[in-house]
Amino acid sequence: MSSAQLLSVSGVSKEFPGVKALNNVHFDLNEGEVHAIVGENGAGKSTLMKILSGIYKKDSGDIKYKGNSVNITSPFEAQKLGISIIHQELNLMPHLTVAENIFIGREDRFPGGIFLNNKKLVAAAVALLKELELNLNPNDIVGELTIAKQQMVEIAKAVSYRGSVIIMDEPTSSLTPAETDALFKIIRSLRAAGKGVVYISHRLEELEKITDRITVLRDGEYVKTLKTSETNIPEVISLMVGRTVAQDQRPENRVIGSDIVLKVEGLSDLHLLRDISFDLRKGEILGFAGLMGAGRTELARAIMGADPKTSGTITLHGKETHIKQPSDAVAAGIGYLSEDRKRFGLLLNQDVTFNVILSSIPSFSNKFGFLKVKSAAGIARNSISQLRVRTPSERQFLKNLSGGNQQKVVIAKWLTRDCDVLIFDEPTRGIDVGAKDEIYRLLTKLAEEGKSIIMISSELPEVLRLSDRIAVMCDGRLTGIIDNKDANQNVIMELATKFSDKFTTVN
Amino acid sequence: MSDVTTVEGGNKVTAFIRREIGRVTALASLVVIFTFFTVMRPVFASWANVSGGILMSTTVIGLMAIGVTFVIITGGIDLSVGTSMALVAVITGKTIMNLHLNVWSGILLGMLVGTILGAINGLLITVLKLPPFIATLATMKGAQGLALIISDLKPILFASDVKGWDMIAQGNIVPNLPNAVLILLVAAVIASIILNKTVLGRYTFAIGSNTEATKLSGVKVNRWLVAIYALCGLFVGLGAIVMTSRLGSAQPDLGLGYELEAIAAVIIGGTSLLGGKGTISGTIIGALIMSVLINGLRILELQQEWQYVVVGAVILLAVYGDNVRRRRAGETTH
């Protein structure tokens, strides 16, 4: 290889109590290269990244940086060496400004080292942002920026360490296609400048666009390193899961009845939503596509009564229903599964049983208010076997389950409540490829059993694979509802970017 | 996530007002309350009452509240400041009596003891990884007991042994302004500079805004936390000095309950209990609102019991008003 090797990891292992997180893993990175690490959740990607960035210590193995063996003991040390990382969860101080965030820990000081030189700090930030062609004001408070802009702050911060290696952990998970393109531009210029970029992503279609090589991990083991130009997504997926997963599937042409379960008419809210009307039929999966900020989550929250609406009616089973707060919606049989399960869906420090009965506690308690422990555990065990939740028992704490299994527990919660309309907001966010498949099958099965499902998703293949019809939103409006057989990614993107004001309702 | 509101557009003035509205409202409330009492009883606004009554009674709580502001901005809490102040007073008084220290070494000693007590809180929180509430609840009780043990349950009348000790609080370097008030003002200015212009201040905000991110950015968070709690202790030490100077003695049982008044001042001043946000000037305004209320209600001859109720209502109003404002601005609430 012509370019010099920046990083070489050989035979690295890491064990946590009871789990072999990494077993004899290999990885290397050259100057001017973008090298992806892929694998399902639990494959060991994050553990490897945390070892490289000094958060974990390896048990054994060797890490060479620019040819020298190194022992990275803290994030500080990693940064000093020249390895910086953009974490999956945004790691910013929301109350501080852009400039303060970028240079946190390395503030310009006046002689003496106590007082901050804010002018120099801001000037340095201006120069850096200009260099990266990022449209950010260094004096803006980070917490007031959009997620995408916050992501840009993270990138600027990582670049500012002027290291040779930049690790990006799921950098595009909350970016729009246009923002992703902007990010790719930055990555390409970093590559051109001879930096090495370690790129982790669940969005496999991105790998073809941006990476030079791909290393696959599975269950903590090294599987294979591939040249991107010599492989394809199906091969990568089959290496990741150890079997072949079909891509670009469509639902079998199911016959949906004409019973309208949920009818939304003329719904608007204070800020974004304008005059939204649609029907949801019994046994149907209605997909909602759109860009970030199109108003899909806001629509779901308005239907649930979590946010106020200014106009519009909601009709359930032919009867107009006044929903003023989420408990009204739940009582009417609508369950909402938030994109942020950990914050809005689950009690992570409680066991499966508690989470399953959470929305239906009155039916699991006697007239004195005592919980019926046995029947609660029974229904939890039922849910576990029905939804195939992988857990040692119904008494396992939720925090110990994988993302996919946590999602199944949320579903079990609403099924226990006997909801017949389920609103899924990004049902597979943060869930690995193999488990996604299972969630897909589960959603289809629920629809076949007569549940009506609204599925909000930013992943078009997912929308196309599951939805009987697809509703597309743009800028707070519904720009179209199309049958699956008429839909493809291009049609959907066209509707999703229909920013015109002179707009007539389709359908 | 998509429920984050973006704040775009709007000029610098509206941005400034939006950012400073907490303090502006607090200051406006202070003026309104002050005017109300002045109209009811003109004597209220006399300089004798303002300096000797209102300002003087703000000094000790104000000094403690300045220290607590730093701690609360980190997202922590310090329940020990009240009884720590008593312990500092007792230790300083005893040592001064036994070693016949002069006034300056006495002042240094008091600040040193306060700093050490604060650092102990910081170490309990960072080394033993105790939640700040628990750690400082423990040191609060510990300090209360130790103050009583060391003093043998008796006030320590040491001030008359030290030449000039009474002048610390009661002298007038600036004519007509008690030194205690001057100390509070100078301390507030210095604290404000530390909070806004120094590395320690920047990390105080950073830790309160996102501890984990600060840590991952290579900042030695634990060390800075110890320093911040120690700094809080330093202001507590200063409070103890002013207190003993005013009373002429160290009272081992005086201090319990002060911590809640200090915390209340910080919160009324617009500092968020969730961390990441706060100002020293807000805290001073908060402390003043409380003393103005107490003083005014006393002049109106309202029973002391009712004074407590009014202060409670003010705390509710202040935090509720802040919540309403944030909800409108689309921020998360308490």
pLDDT digits (tens, 9 = 90+) for A88-131: 777 899 999 999 999 998 888 999 888 999 999 999 999 999 98
Residues of B in contact with A74 (CB under 8 A): 218
Q: What is the pLDDT of residues A291-329, one digit of tens each?
A: 777 899 999 999 999 888 999 999 999 999 999 998 899
Mean pLDDT for B305-320 is 87
Mean pLDDT across chain A: 87
Q: What is the pLDDT of residues B261-285, one digit of tens each?
A: 999 999 999 898 889 989 999 999 9
- CB atoms A75 and B212 under 8 Å: no
The minimum CA-CA distance between A307 and chain B, rounded to whole Å, is 11
Question: Which residue from A12, A7, A37, A9 is spatially nearest to A22, judged by alpha carbons?
Answer: A12
Choose among A75, A91, A339: nearest Cβ to B1: A339
* β A477-483/A334-337 pair status: unpaired
At A504 the pLDDT is 41
At B332 the pLDDT is 45
- CB atoms B2 and A292 under 8 Å: yes
Distance between CA A393 and CA A377 in Å, rounded?
A: 10
- The verdict on ipTM greater than 0.90 is no
- CB atoms A94 and B214 under 8 Å: no
With 60 as the cut, is the pLDDT of residue A464 above it? Answer: yes
Q: Give the angle A228-A229-A230 at the CA atoms, nearest 5°.
A: 90
- Name the band, by pLDDT with cuts 50, 70 and 90, for residue B15: low
Q: Give the angle A361-A318-A309 at the CA atoms, nearest 5°.
A: 70
Beta bridge partners of residue A16, listed in sequence order: A19
* β A421-425/A452-456 pair status: parallel
- CB atoms A55 and B197 under 8 Å: no
At A42 the pLDDT is 67
- Name the band, by pLDDT with cuts 50, 70 and 90, for residue A18: low
User: Which A residues, 412 through 451, put their C-beta within 8 Å of a C-beta on chain B?
Assistant: none
Choose among B7, B199, B209: nearest Cβ to A95: B209
Q: Is A91 on the interface with B (CB under 8 A)?
A: yes
Q: Best of A116, A137, A144, A426 to disrupt the B interface by mutation (most B CBs within 10 Å)?
A: A144
The minimum CA-CA distance between A372 and chain B, rounded to whole Å, is 34
Which amino acid, one-letter code, is at A329?
Answer: A
Put simply, whether the predicted model's pTM sits higher than 0.80 gets the answer no
Mean pLDDT across chain B: 90
The three-class DSSP label of residue A126 is helix
At B321 the pLDDT is 78
The minimum CA-CA distance between B100 and chain A, rounded to whole Å, is 35
At B333 the pLDDT is 39
Mean pLDDT for A454-483 is 91
Q: What is the pLDDT of residues A206-242, one digit of tens each?
A: 888 899 999 999 888 899 999 999 988 888 878 887 7
Q: What is the pLDDT of residues A236-284, one digit of tens each?
A: 878 887 755 555 677 777 778 789 999 999 999 988 899 999 999 999 9
Residues of A in contact with B277 (CB under 8 A): 95
The sheet carrying A477-483 orders its strands as A334-337, A421-425, A452-456, A285-290, A469-474, A477-483
Block residue for tokens 């304008």: A274
Residues of B with CB under 8 A from a CB of A: 1-4, 6-7, 19, 197-202, 205-206, 208-210, 212-220, 276-277, 331
Residues of B in contact with A96 (CB under 8 A): 202, 205-206, 209
Distance between CA A125 and CA A162 in Å, rounded?
A: 13
With 60 as the cut, is the pLDDT of residue A467 above it? Answer: yes
Q: What is the pLDDT of residues B168-194, one digit of tens each?
A: 999 999 998 999 999 999 999 999 999
Residues of B in contact with A106 (CB under 8 A): 218
Higher pLDDT, B25 or A173: B25
Block residue for tokens 């120069």: A127
At B47 the pLDDT is 93
The minimum CA-CA distance between A94 and chain B, rounded to whole Å, is 6
Residues of A in contact with B270 (CB under 8 A): none
At B17 the pLDDT is 67
Percent of chain B whose pLDDT exceeds 90: 73
Name which of A166-175, B46-55, B79-88, B147-156 the model is least confident about. A166-175
Q: Is A312 on the interface with B (CB under 8 A)?
A: no
**B204: its two tokens:** 């105080």
With 50 as the cut, is the pLDDT of residue B89 above it? Answer: yes
The minimum CA-CA distance between B217 and chain A, rounded to whole Å, is 6
Block residue for tokens 């925090």: A399
At B19 the pLDDT is 66
Percent of chain A whose pLDDT exceeds 70: 95
- Name the band, by pLDDT with cuts 50, 70 and 90, for residue A493: confident
- Name the band, by pLDDT with cuts 50, 70 and 90, for residue A502: very low
- CB atoms A79 and B202 under 8 Å: no
- Name the band, by pLDDT with cuts 50, 70 and 90, for residue B7: very low
Which residue in chain B has the smallest CA separation from A476? Answer: B2
Residue A113 DSSP class? S
- Name the band, by pLDDT with cuts 50, 70 and 90, for residue B12: low
